[in-house]
Structure 1
Amino acid sequence: MSNYHMVEARVFFDLRQRVGGELAMSRVLPEPTVESFDLTVILSALAEPGRRALMTALYRRAARDEPIDCMVIAQEVDLGVSAPTLSHHYRVLREAGLVRTTAVGRSRVVTVRITDVESRFPGLLDATLTAT
């Protein structure tokens, strides 16, 4: 008799993520409503230099109205931080209402919520992210 037991391995494929290489479904991560934006929370999120650098890079790309993979911006900005720290920075920006994050398979696509922020605090993003 053997000390090893046969275990049946099952692999599950989530059809919502990819079908024939094409995205079948994505998921927007939780974010605050425009009415619940808090200026203190937004300014606190932008007070940290790493998050401000990420947000500035995202804001510059937002002018071209293109969502971007969060790792592309992270490589462009090169903060020199660990993946969990980078994830924390993106979470703080999202929870402040500055960005919208969409889970697409295993990657995260980020867009700046310019219209939402501008409707609540006109001129804030331009004043804080384009100042030299």
Structure 2
Amino acid sequence: MDAIPPPLPEPAPDDIRLEDVFGALNEPLRLGVVRKLLLEAPGTARPCGWVGIDPSPKSTLTHHFRILREAGVTRQRQYGLERRSEVRISDLDSRFPGLLDPVQSWQPSVRQPG
């Protein structure tokens, strides 16, 4: 069995700052990514393509995933050419209890034309 690669650079659990988490989740695409990971793959690392965000260019997705990782919201590991992400559920729950509850229940708003 292959060894699990180390995570890419991320803040230690005690260094995760609430303002950084809120800043990362302030963008609807990133909020949607975290919500999907929480609801459909809790505790499981998934590749960026699994999230199914189209038609965003790969560089844009890389940027969004980096912001989530650097804020301490997600953990990323490099598996060959593929990066897999998962939400740092236990770290966020211990640092900010209940923070992920509204993220899980969030629904994107539908804009009315006109």
TM-score by length of 1: 0.73
Question: Does the C-alpha gap of structure 1 residues 23 and 80 become closer, same or farther in structure 2, counting only changes over 3 Å?
Answer: same
Once the two structures are TM-superposed, the CA of residue 114 in structure 1 deviates from its matched residue by 0.3
Q: 2: CA distance between counterparts of 1:24 and 1:62?
A: 21
How far apart, in 1, do the equivalents of 2:82 and 2:41 lie?
19
Map of 1:12 onto structure 2: none
Q: Give the equivalent residue in structure 1 for 2:44.
A: 66
Q: Report the structure number with the largest CA radius of gyration.
A: 1
Distance 1:62 1:72 in 2: 10
Report 1 or 2 for greater relative contact order, CA contacts < 8 Å, sequence distance ≥ 6: 2
Where 2:78 maps in the other structure, the secondary structure is strand
Say which SS state the counterpart of residue 111 (structure 1) adopts.
strand
Kept in 2, the 8 Å contact 1:23–1:104? The answer is: no
Matched, 1:47 2:26: yes
Point out where structure 1 has 5 or more consecutive residues left out of the alignment: 1-21
2:16 equivalent to 1:37 = yes
Give the structure 1 partner of residue 91 of structure 2: 116
The residue aligned with 2:112 is none
Count of residues paired in the alignment: 107
TM-score (norm 2): 0.84
The separation in 1 between residues aligned to 2:37 and 2:100, in whole angstroms, is 11
Contact 2:7–2:77 (8 Å) recurs in 1: yes
Specify the SS of the correspondent of 1:66.
coil
User: Per the alignment, in what secondary structure is the counterpart of residue 31 of structure 1?
Assistant: coil
Q: Deviations over 1:108-131 (max 9, x none)?
A: 111110000000000001123313
Q: Distance in 1 between matches of 2:4 and 2:87?
A: 21
- Map 1:93-112; keep pairs closer than 5 Å: 93-112=68-87
Seq. identity, %? 36
* Aligned-pair CA distance for 1:79: 4.3
Structure 1 letter corresponding to 2:45: P
RMSD: 1.7
